[in-house]
Amino acid sequence: MSSAQEIPPFFIIGNPRSGTTLLRLMLNNHPLISVPPECGFAVWLYEKYKAENFLDKSIVRNFIADVVKSRKFETWGIDKEAIEASYYLENFSNTKKSPRLSTLPSH
């Protein structure tokens, strides 16, 4: 793989004190990977967004606004506009793709 566009999104999921922070730090040494610090937004927002259509830009804006308001988001070192730009580039430039949140840009 030669560019960030070719790396599929991934999630690191684990129990507290199981080594996920060390894994995140090791992965962040790769020039094409950026893994933000832990944040429980997926758990917190699941019920609200589980049935939503992420091809609807207003749903995406609301979801991103909720993520930005999540605890610890300020430690990620990225801003709302970067997330929106990454998502729209990934999902609305080619409508044949299934909607998903894109990998976050490096910081």
For residue 19, is pLDDT > 80? yes
Q: Tell me the per-residue pLDDT of 59-90, one tens digit each, with 9 for 90 and over.
A: 888 988 898 888 778 777 777 777 777 776 66
CA dist 12 and 10 (Å) reads 7
Give a three-class secondary structure readout of 4-36.
HHHCCCCCCCCCCCCCHHHHHHHHCCCCCCCCC
For residue 98, is pLDDT > 50? no
Contact (Cβ atoms closer than 8 angstroms) between residue 28 and residue 35: yes
CA dist 84 and 64 (Å) reads 7
Q: How confident is the model at residue 43 (pLDDT cuts 50, 70, 90)?
A: confident
For residue 30, is pLDDT > 50? yes
pLDDT, residue 99, reads 47
Q: How confident is the model at residue 103 (pLDDT cuts 50, 70, 90)?
A: very low
